[in-house]
Structure 1
Amino acid sequence: MASSSAVGKLSREEFRRQKDLDAARKAGTAPAALDEEGRPINPHIPQYISQAPWYLDTGAPSLNHQRRPDYDDSSNKLDNWYDRGVKAGPAAKKYRKGACENCGAMTHKKQDCLERPRKKGAKFTNKNIQADEIIQDVATGYDAKRDRWNGYDAAEHKQIYEEYEAVEAARQKLREDEIDNQTTTDLAAVRKVAKAGKTEKEGDPDFGSSEDEDADEDKYADAADAVGQKMDTKTRITVRNLRIREDTAKYLINLDPESAYYDPKTRSMRDAPLKNVPPEEATFAGDNFFRYSGEAPEVQKLQLFAWNAAARGNDVHLNANPTQGELLHGEFRQKKEELKDTTKSSILAKYGGAEYLESGPKELRQGQTEEYVEYSRTGQVIKGRERAKARSKYPEDVYVNNHTEVWGSWYDTSTGTWGYACCHSIIHISYCSGQAGIEAAQASSAQNLLASAAASVITAEKVAQSDAKEAASASEKVEQNYSKKRVGEGDVKLDKERLAQAINEEKKRKMRGEDDDDRSGKKRKGALESGSHDVTEEELEAYRMSRRMTEDPMANYVDSEY
C-alpha cells in the first residue's frame, strides 16, 4: 500500500476506492498487495506499521522499513579500529623539510604533535627524530563510530588493579604500625601520637598546617570507627550500615534461583529458602515465619479489631490508646464465644441432632495412638501394650445360617469356586450342614466320578474294540438318536469307553474355564443347524455329571433333629 506522502493527496473518489479495496483484501475477495520483491503483504497489518516514514518511503507498498538491515559490509563491524603506536619504520637521521618542527616526523605538524614540547625542536638539533606514523583509513559504520569502547584494550585495566593493590598494601602496613605504637582508638590521641612520631619540622609541631591535619585524619580515621558505623573521610559524614557484615544475606542461604523469591528493594524473603529443614532448626525460616510466630498474630488480630470498630463509628485507636483497645478486644471475644454457644444451643433445641456432634475418641476413630510399644525379635511385646487392630467400617465375622466360617473361607480347586470352610458348600447364604455336608460334597466330587469311570474302563473287555461291536454300537447310536427310547421308553445302554472319553473332554473344558450353558447351547445349536454332529448319549451323561458337581448337594437335605 503506497503512503499518502508519496502519491499526494487523494480525491474523495480515490479514497473511497482505496477503502473498498482494503476491505475486500481483508475479506479475502481481492488478492493481497505485493511488495517490491513479489511477496504478499498481510492486509490485516495496521497502517502505522505498514506505512513507511517519509524518509524511507519509496512510493510502492513494502515492509522493508520494518526489517533489520543487513550489515554484511566489513566496514560496519565493531572490531575495526586503528592500530595504536604503529610506526612506519626506522626514523630519519636528520630533519626533513616539511616535517614536524618538534619531533621530526613527516605525518603531522607542530601544532598536532603529541610529543613533549622540546626547548629546541628537531628542526634545529637534528637529534631524537621520531619515526613516521602509519596513517590508516578505517571505514567505520554508524555503530562503530559511536561505540565509546571501540579500540579499548582490556589488558590496560590490569594496571589499575596493580595500583590499587599497592595502595592497599601500604595502607595495611600503616595500620599495623599504628596498632603496634598505640592501644587507644580515640582519633585525637591517634593524631597526637602520629604527630609526635614525626621528625621535628620548623615551628611548633602542635600547630601544624591544615593540610597535615587532613592527611593524618585520612590515615587514622579508620581506627576510631564504632561498631556498625563508618567514617567517610572525603564527605565528612557518618554512614550506618544496614546490617552487620558477619550476617549472611538471605539470598545467599540457598543459591538455587527457584528456592524462594527475594525482593532486593525491601530485602525481604517471605518463604523459607530451605524447604527440607524444619523452621525450628533453620537459621532463617522466612519473614512469614516470624510474622506468624509469637505474639505477632495477636497483634494483627487486635489491629484488625480496631480497624473494624473504627469503621463502625466506635472511637477505638490502637496506637493512641492501646490499653482500651486490648480491653475492648477481650470483651468482644468473650461475647462472641457466648453468642456462639447460645446460637448452637438454640439450633440443637429446635432441630435436634446433638448425638451426631458427639464423636468417639481419636484412638477409636483412626486406630492410632501415641503410646510407646517395644517388640522383641520374635514379635513379642516387651514394653507397653500392643496396638489395637484397626477395623473397617464393614461388618466383620458375621455368621449366618448356622455357619461357623465366613463366606469365601474355602476354595474348591476341582470346580474353581468359593464356599464355606465349615460345610464345603458353594451356595452363598445356604444352610450349614456341618461334617455331613463335607462328606456329601466329597462323595459327589468330580474326582470320585472320574475315578469310578476310569476303573470301569480298565475292567472292560478288550473284545469291545472289535469290528462287530463297533457296527453294533453304530446301529445302537442310530437307534438311540432317532428312536423313542431317548424320551424314556425302554432302557438306554451306555458305552463305558465312550463315557470315560466324554468325561475327560468335559473335564478339559472345565479346566479351560468354558461356561457350561454357553458351550452346550452353542454346541447343540450348531449341531441342530448344521447336522454335522449329533450329541451322543455318553456326551449327555458326561454333561449331566458335570452339572451335578456344581449343584448344591444338600439342596434337598432335611435335618432330622427338627
Structure 2
Amino acid sequence: MASSSAVGKLSREEFRRQKDLDAARKAGTAPAALDEEGKPINPHIPQYISQAPWYLDTGAPSLSHQRRPEEEENRPRDLDTWYDRGATAGPAATKYRKGACENCGAMTHKKKDCLERPRKKGARFTNKNIQADEVIQNVELGYAAKRDRWNGYDPAEHKRIYSEYAAVEAARQKLREEEIDNQTTTDLAVVRKMAKAGKTEKKDDADFGSSDEEDADEDKYADAADAVGQKLDAKTRITVRNLRIREDTAKYLMNLDPSSAYYDPKTRSMRDAPDKNTAPEDAKFAGENFFRYSGEAPAVQQLQLFAWQAAARGNDVHLNANPTQGELLHQEFKEKRQELKETSKGSILAKYGGEEYLQAAPKELRQGQTEDYVEYSRTGQVIKGRERAKARSKYPEDAFVNNHTSVWGSWYDPTSGIWGYSCCHSTVHLSYCSGDAGIAAVQASSAQNLLASTSEPVPSAPRTSTKADSALGNGNVEQNYSKKRIGEGEVKLDKERLAHALKEEKKRTRGDEEDDRPGKKPKGPSGSHDVTEEELEAYRMRRRFTEDPMANYVDKDD
C-alpha cells in the first residue's frame, strides 16, 4: 500500500484508482507495494502505521520510520558496563614523581581530589607508601543505563553482608544455649525466659523460638491489631471507619424518647443533641453539630464560603486547588473590611458627632455587675459559687514584731489619748512586748496621772515667748506627724506651767459652757502669742475628758 503522503493531492479519478488498487492488493489479485529496500509491504497494515509523519516522509512508500535504526542495533549493550572500581594501571612507583598527588603519590589525581586519608607528611616529602595509578575509564552510557538505579551494583557485596550477619546470629544463639546449659534449674518458664532474652532471636528455631508460645502469640496479635476507630486494608489502601467503638453506648440509646433528636441509621449520625436539658459541656454526647461548630471548623467554613463567593464574582480562588492563596486572600479581605468599617465609623462620627458616648465605661463596670453567680444562706455562708476575693492592702497586715501578739493601733489609751498594742498596752511604737506586766504598769501610771491632773498646782507668772519657744512650737508640727508622743524624746514639760495651763483651760472652758448657743464647740488655745507645749497638753487633757471620738471604737478586723 503506497503511502498517501508520498502522493500529492489526488484528483477524483486518481483517488478512485488508488482505492481500487488498495482493494485489489488486499484481495491478492494485485502485487504488493515494495519499500526502498525491495521488501513487500503488507497491504493490511493500517494507514496510521504505514503513513510516515511529515518530518520523516521520503516521498516513496516505506516502513523505515517504524523500524529501529541500524546504528542502535549494532551498538553494544551498555546496561552491564560500569567503572572497574579499584583497577590500577600497574605496580606502584618507588619514588615520588613531579606532578603527582602530594598526599599519596599517584599521578592520576591531585591532592584536593585524593580519596586517601590525609597524611601528616605526604608522599612528596617521605617517598613512602606511594599508591599505584588508577585506571581512568571513559564509560559511555545510554539513556537507559544513565537512569538505572542498580547500575554498577555488585550482588556479591550483599551476599557478604548477609553472611556476616548470619555468622553473628549463629554465635549469639550458641552463646544463649551455653548459658541455658549452665543453669541448674529445670523450670521451663525460666528456660524460655533465657531463650527470649535476645531481641534478634530467630522465629523459626524449633527449640527456643516456636510460634506456639504465649508471648510470641501476644506480640503477633498486637502487631496485627488495628487502631481504634479505623481499619486499614493493606491490599487496597482504603481506610474503613468504624463509626462507634463496641464498648460505647449507641447514640440512639441515649434518649429513648421518639420525639428526641433524629438518628440516621444509614450514616449512623445524630446531628442534634439527644438530651437538650443538659449543657453541651456536661453531656456525654452533644450531637455532631456541636463538634462541627467547635474548634477551627467555623474558620474553615468561613474560608470555604469566601472562596465560593470570590469564584462567583469572577476571581480565580479555589480552596482545594490552592489553599495558601485562599487563606492569604481571606486574611487580606478581612483586613480591608475592618479598615472600611473604621473609615465609615469615623466619617459618621465626624458628620454627626457623639464620640464622647462611645468612650464611656462598660455597663458592667458602671453598675458593678458581673456574671459570677454566688448563692448565700441565711447565715451568710456561701452555698453555691465562689465568693469574691477581698481586696488586700498594699501594706503588710497582721505582721507581729518584737514578740507582740497584736498589731500597732489595736489598743487606745483613753487617759492619755495615745494608740498602742493591746497585748501589753505599750504606747511606744516598735517596743518589745512586756505582756501582763506592761498592762499592770500602764494601769498604775494612769491612776497616778489622774490624781496629779485633779490636784490644784501652784500658779506661776506667765512668761513671754522666746526664740526657744518659737523653735519648740515649730517643732510641734513635725512631732504631730511622727511616732513621737507628748513627753517623749527631747521635749520636757514643766509641771508648774502645765498646772497653770490647766487652770486657765478650766476657766476658759467654764466660760464656753455658759454660752448656750446651739452648735457652739469648745475653742482651743488662742491668743497672739505662740502656743506652748504645756498649753497644748492642757487643751488635750480637758478635751479628752469632755469629748473623745475614739472612746468606743472597737477594731472588728482583729
TM-score higher than 0.5: no
TM-score (norm 1): 0.30
